[in-house]
Structure 1
Amino acid sequence: MKKIITLFLFGLLFSCNAQKNVSTAMPKLVSECPKDGTCEVEILKNKQLILHYDDLGGMYYDIKDQEGTTVIHYQYNKTTQANLQDGHYREDIIFEIKNSDKSLDLTDSELQQVKLIFGRHCFCKGQTGYFKIEKGNLQLSAKSAISFNLNFTCDKVPQIIKSISVK
């Protein structure tokens, strides 16, 4: 009887599998990523981008569950030497679309209709944080799958990524 219970518990232990929380398959990245880093894009279905400001005017964001909207997060990570303590460098481009949007063509100030923000993270005194993007162009199609072209500039801080194309 002990053997049966042991085998049952052993089988139960290996039959359990953690639920994976993957929102969608990773789309193919068409834009060229700088050779000194890696680029990833993540599409978060039924999520909402919420922008916040701290007491000093700095921007940060939250992503929360919300039916009817999708958040798109593009990230560039520069490859650095492991022995450099403050050598990291990352850029983020984040925006939100409505699930009902089948195509968008936004220019300059219209980019804030999708809450387009640019983030720069490094040991660069006074030149890090998140910033609204108000200069550029976004063309998006979401008929069978999401694809987009984004060209933008951020006047507040230097940037490496200025153009993204995802299909």
Structure 2
Amino acid sequence: MKRHLLTIICIVFLVSCKSQYVNLEKDQVFKLSSDCPKEGKCKVEVKDEFTYELEKGKGGVINPVFKENTETKLFIFTYSKTKNKELTDDFYQEKILFILPYKIEEGEYSGNDLKDFNISFGKFCFCRDVAGYYPIKTGTLKITKDEIDFTFTVELDQQKIKHISFKIPQ
């Protein structure tokens, strides 16, 4: 009798610990739920069946190279500061790029786990020494069935975007 009870308890324990997965689909429209700085506009673009790699091009400039991949979605978050028309060099933009597989386990990812999502930060402005793309190594990516939430830092001065969040369409 004790053996049967122990078996039932083990089965219940294993079933209750089953991982929960989020299934992303093609052609979903993601709505931004995090705040955007008042001086500009934010948007999120999603490319189905794409990935990217940062590659060094001519002049040592690092840029993303987009590639087809049927197993992942590419997310591109963009913040563009509204340009002051009276200033010729007032352009400023930040981008966050990352990939997610179509089926991903709900959870919180940080540290070395962030490498799996190939997360990069791009800063573009009239600031030659810091303009370009950088891998993001410090942050926390939380994925639930309803939302993708990412808080991060990069080793740059005056980073405007440190948190992005958007709803997963149901």
TM tier, shorter chain?
0.7 to 0.9
TM-score (norm 2): 0.75
**Per-residue deviation, residues 45-67 of structure 1 (Å, max 9, x unmatched):** 11111221247654211122221
Distance 1:105 1:58, change over 3 A: farther
Paired with 2:68 and 2:55, the residues of 1 have a C-alpha distance of: 16
Q: Which residue of 1 aligns with 2:115?
A: 112
**Per-residue deviation, residues 40-94 of structure 1 (Å, max 9, x unmatched):** 0011111111221247654211122221111011000000122422211000000
Larger mean CA deviation between 87-96 and 25-34 belongs to 25-34
Consecutive unaligned residues in structure 1, runs of 5 or more: 1-22
Q: Which residue of 2 aligns with 1:36?
A: 39
CA contact (8 A) 1:110 1:134 kept: no
Q: Which residue of 2 aligns with 1:12?
A: none
RMSD: 1.9
Secondary structure of residue in 2 paired with 1:109? helix
Residue 165 of structure 1 and its aligned partner are, at CA, apart by: 1.2
CA contact (8 A) 1:128 1:157 kept: no
- Report the residue type matching 2:148 in the other structure: F
Consecutive unaligned residues in structure 2, runs of 5 or more: 1-25
Paired with 1:59 and 1:109, the residues of 2 have a C-alpha distance of: 22
Paired with 1:106 and 1:51, the residues of 2 have a C-alpha distance of: 21
**Structure with more contact order per residue of length (Cα contacts < 8 Å, sep ≥ 6):** 2
TM-score (norm 1): 0.76
Residue 152 of structure 1 and its aligned partner are, at CA, apart by: 0.4
**Per-residue deviation, residues 93-148 of structure 1 (Å, max 9, x unmatched):** 0001111214242112321111100000000130110000001100123x5x7x31
Q: Which residue of 1 aligns with 2:95?
A: 92
Residue 157 of structure 1 and its aligned partner are, at CA, apart by: 4.5
How many residues are paired up?
142
Give 1 or 2: higher strand fraction: 2
Larger mean CA deviation between 45-54 and 31-40 belongs to 45-54
Q: Which residue of 2 aligns with 1:161?
A: 161
Q: Which residue of 1 aligns with 2:78?
A: 75
Paired with 1:79 and 1:25, the residues of 2 have a C-alpha distance of: 28
Paired with 1:73 and 1:157, the residues of 2 have a C-alpha distance of: 22
Paired with 1:158 and 1:150, the residues of 2 have a C-alpha distance of: 18
